[in-house]
Chain A
Amino acid sequence: DTGVSQDPRHKITKRGQNVTFRCDPISEHNRLYWYRQTLGQGPEFLTYFQNEAQLEKSRLLSDRFSAERPKGSFSTLEIQRTEQGDSAMYLCASSLGLGTGNTEAFFGQGTRLTVV
């Protein structure tokens, strides 16, 4: 296992188009997180999953954003009708679940979205 994998690494899209990002977590990790990071800021929490269940969705996320984690493995983050303000780095992370006493998150390299 080579860690958390995100695809694509870079995405340029025109305003109004839909985009979808994929995250493959570390295989034994049942928690998966999505964050958004803009230049000069810390990662902002977007949403997270425990296995296939989406436990929380940030108020930062408008209805244009949706995330899924079918079968509790990989996850997708879709942004509909993209806006220029959506331009950011989208980070995925995974961790072991509760009961392990260890919530350390491992991060992917991120997907950089540019909306033109």
Chain B
Amino acid sequence: AQSVTQLDSHVSVSEGTPVLLRCNYSSSYSPSLFWYVQHPNKGLQLLLKYTSAATLVKGINGFEAEFKKSETSFHLTKPSAHMSDAAEYFCVVSDRISSASKIIFGSGTRLSIRP
């Protein structure tokens, strides 16, 4: 069975400072991991994905995430926050191999950016 836990429901940072959004996962098999972003009244957009290649994954808008199997984590980071980064972020897990796999969302982390 798969599950994902986003450790913070809300993160607030100042513009220009680093962003860290935490995610831990549980998967019986080999996970695919994703981060999606949802701006107010907008659809879900894929930020980045891990599917067994490099453990450090770079995404759009300067975001990146590192897959750490020993810690079952896939934290999202960005060196310098921008006002336009304010949104809801979802960590997502899926199983690359199991025929019964489905895509499971975390509960989300709301990112606020202070001027």
> Could you tell me the distance in whole angstroms from the C-beta of A55 to the nearest C-beta in chain B?
7
Q: Residues of A contacting B115 with CB < 8 Å? A: none
How far, in whole Å, are A101 and B50 apart by their CA atoms in the complex? 11
A25 within 8 A of B: no
Q: A42-B90, A43-B90, A110-B43 are in contact. Are A105 and B100 (CB under 8 A)?
A: no
Pair A45/B102 contact, Cβ less than 8 Å: yes
Taking a contact as CB atoms closer than 8 A, the residue among B43, B94, B100, B106 that contacts A103 in the complex is B94
A91 to B49, CA, bound (A): 20
Size class of the contact patch on chain A? 20 to 34
Which A residues touch B32, using CB under 8 A? 102-104
> Shortest Cβ distance from A25 into chain B, in angstroms?
14
Residues of B within 8 A of A55 (CB): 100, 102
Contact call A42/B96, Cβ cutoff below 8 A: no
Is the CB of B34 closer than 8 A to any CB of chain A? yes
B107 within 8 A of A: yes
| Shortest CB distance B28–A (Å) | 15
Taking a contact as CB atoms under 8 Å apart, the answer to whether A109 and B100 are in contact is no
Q: Are B96 and A101 in contact (CB under 8 A)?
A: yes
Within the assembled complex, what's the spacing in Å between the Cα atoms of A88 and B101?
Answer: 25
A109 pairs with B43, CB closer than 8 A: yes
Chain A residues, CB < 8 A from B101: 98, 103
Contact with B along A36-48 (1 / 0, CB 8 A): 0000011111001
